[in-house]
Structure 1
């Protein structure tokens, strides 16, 4: 089979940037060389870099329910979600499906519709309906009474890549500041101000009754089934030390400098949000992602709730942290691949890996994705 040739591109390789040529055969990268050749697709000096890898995005929820009382059909929402991702250059995603809501709503996606959401992703992936490769990231709200009973049946699912341990109880982790907690849940989740004290008391009671037992059971399950485990919103050194003892490999969104230092220094992969980078800080008032980047305490960037923020963030990091672009793209390619044990297949422009890559034009203002390829075939 004849090779596909891509030449005159700025190739962002694992350890350098070169103006060169890449060859693909049967969906696999078979050669990478410096210099420009006379055949193949001419990139006119634009960037060519690995497809982006996303470990934590709840964009599917947004596509299902773009407004609090609106519900789009699941199949349509999943396809729209997939198009959001692939157009943002994300070629592999761990869809974050939250189990256990923070509010006891009768129509809660996170309590009543999680199974249908998972089934829609699994069926769409099997049917070839998606352009991005979809995996599952089950987000476990520890105060939810029935959490373990929901998670355990999925523990050997072939698409399950990650479990994360979440605790959104007011007064700690992401919401140390109670006033910010109240503001967030009245505006985002529609909790009436008059009911807020009752709501907080309910959340505290749920944590006291269920969080510890759920955490212990899920840690044991992850170890028995060899599932990558993440902590979430660690705020203190003790939070991180607990996570290390539990076998956590990924620290999602540490909220303080001390927690990020402790996690990074003990070998956990530290994940921060691209919106935090772009906006210059956390919407919850927590530690700045860019501050942590400049201290070399971050390993992975996630788009979180804005898929198109992922690529933009690394261009900002490269400029503000004065790091070469070929180094900072590892935060959205190779490092997340390592976190879910896929780095032998994807995550870098390397001979023998899948030809998942994107081409990008940078005009110095906003980097613009030109094309997206999956195993050598253009998909966007």
Structure 2
């Protein structure tokens, strides 16, 4: 048994200064006397650990510079440590299963998933996988089937960056129609401007521009069969109970199409139309935490802070930067976008519900003891002091200024300060 003594605890519905005891990987008691091992948590926050539904920052460990690959095992081990240090106890790595070679090839995605499975006993947090499927990538179908039936927890995100890049040159990225609407305007592949539009992908793939554009032509020719393939893959995911998400929605029509297939989460909607449609139909709405930290979208889509304030955001995901989840809570709290418990739920209870993980995301008796201990001085950025996953310490940190207090504190197993509500 471990008791966190005297923390400011984020409970469902209130924040209270109290004790929390964990045993056998779960929350055993709230407010009772201290037990065997006592952690002095006075002056700190004890909150549900973070659940990240979409993070691809691991790609920086795999390929820190364009075309420069590092061993997958080294990348996975380093990523896991970063997650723990940022208070993330459950992470869905957004592993792209695409048609291009290199970092986002379906075959490379399988290699990453295989490494996550093999390394699981050595990892400190729960590493899961978001199958970020490019819907034109028939190369990925075998990997999708294998992964959804495998031993690692998965979600499935429908991505269509190919159609996005094929939109007419006079159409903004946020203004495009549903990708399979008959009126979707398509650009000319022979237009010289295409080279600039695909430059990032060319650099990532390792192909030269001519080779890459030849690949695009080949894959784009699959368009008449894509909708049926999407339906088949979604049917397999439904049968297996895999949570599904649609990515970068711009229209209510997009949301309705994927909702009908069982994808009840809208990930990073680009305009108000699909966000409002999602809310009206009870779908989960996900935004990127970096968007909130920076004060807006880097591609001029919806601002996450505005959506939180409008009640149109249920989840904040790390996206491309793991520290962004905690930093987003800090900024949105400072800006008074919502009360602190509501904000914390965006990185804990909200994502847990979205991924059907009913055993975590809250500090309540019987829940899994996924906890984060946070030092959050007023007016400053929060810092993680410890992360526990199912009661096991995944990360501990003791800053220099805390050394004197830690040495002078004597654990008293029979002391239990009365619980008092800090604020609701």
TM-score normalised to structure 2 length = 0.80
Q: Which residue of 1 aligns with 2:371?
A: 357
Q: Which residue of 2 aligns with 1:155?
A: 148
Matched residues in 2 for 1:287 and 1:301: separation? 13
- Give the one of 90, 96, 108 matched to 1:113: 108
Matched residues in 1 for 2:149 and 2:141: separation? 14
Q: Which secondary structure state, in structure 2, belongs to the residue aligned with residue 5 of structure 1?
A: strand
TM-score normalised to structure 1 length = 0.89
Q: Which has the higher contact order (CA 8 A, sep 6+)?
A: 2
Cα distance change on mapping 1:259 and 1:173 into 2, 3 Å: farther
1:104-150 alpha-carbon deviations (Å, 9 max, x no partner): 34x3442331221111001111xx21111111211110111323233
Cα distance change on mapping 1:145 and 1:204 into 2, 3 Å: closer
1:34-75 alpha-carbon deviations (Å, 9 max, x no partner): 8999x9322222111011001111122221111111111111
Q: Which residue of 2 aligns with 1:44?
A: 42
Structure 2: give runs of 5+ residues left out of the alignment.
Answer: 177-186, 396-424
Q: Which residue of 1 aligns with 2:419?
A: none
Matched residues in 2 for 1:336 and 1:49: separation? 15
Mean Cα displacement is larger for which, 185-194 or 172-181?
A: 172-181
Cα distance change on mapping 1:221 and 1:273 into 2, 3 Å: same
Cα distance change on mapping 1:270 and 1:182 into 2, 3 Å: farther
Equivalent positions of 1:363-374 (< 5 A) are 363=377, 364-374=379-389
Cα distance change on mapping 1:318 and 1:348 into 2, 3 Å: same
Conserved? CA contact 1:19–1:34, under 8 Å? no
Cα distance change on mapping 1:134 and 1:174 into 2, 3 Å: farther
1:255-302 alpha-carbon deviations (Å, 9 max, x no partner): 001111111221110000000001111122211111111110000100
Conserved? CA contact 1:173–1:235, under 8 Å? no
1:133-169 alpha-carbon deviations (Å, 9 max, x no partner): 1112111101113232331232322323311111012
Mean Cα displacement is larger for which, 151-160 or 236-245?
A: 151-160
Conserved? CA contact 1:249–1:269, under 8 Å? yes
Conserved? CA contact 1:29–1:354, under 8 Å? yes
Matched residues in 2 for 1:36 and 1:129: separation? 31
Cα distance change on mapping 1:195 and 1:351 into 2, 3 Å: same
User: Shift in Å at residue 377 of structure 1?
Assistant: 2.9
Cα distance change on mapping 1:183 and 1:330 into 2, 3 Å: farther
Conserved? CA contact 1:52–1:332, under 8 Å? yes
- Give the one of 288, 294, 298 matched to 1:279: 294
Conserved? CA contact 2:110–2:143, under 8 Å? no
User: Shift in Å at residue 223 of structure 1?
Assistant: 2.0
Matched residues in 2 for 1:161 and 1:247: separation? 15
- Give the one of 15, 18, 26 matched to 1:17: 15
Give the paired residue count: 372
Matched residues in 1 for 2:196 and 2:17: separation? 50
Q: Which residue of 2 aligns with 1:215?
A: 230
Does structure 1 residue 312 correspond to structure 2 residue 327? yes
CA RMSD of aligned residues (A): 2.9
User: Shift in Å at residue 318 of structure 1?
Assistant: 2.4
Matched residues in 2 for 1:304 and 1:49: separation? 21
Conserved? CA contact 1:6–1:40, under 8 Å? yes
State which structure, 1 or 2, has the greater radius of gyration over its C-alpha atoms: 2
- Give the one of 305, 312, 318 matched to 1:297: 312
Q: Which secondary structure state, in structure 2, belongs to the residue aligned with residue 379 of structure 1?
A: strand
Matched residues in 2 for 1:155 and 1:193: separation? 33
Q: Which secondary structure state, in structure 2, belongs to the residue aligned with residue 328 of structure 1?
A: helix
Matched residues in 1 for 2:33 and 2:146: separation? 52
User: Shift in Å at residue 311 of structure 1?
Assistant: 0.9
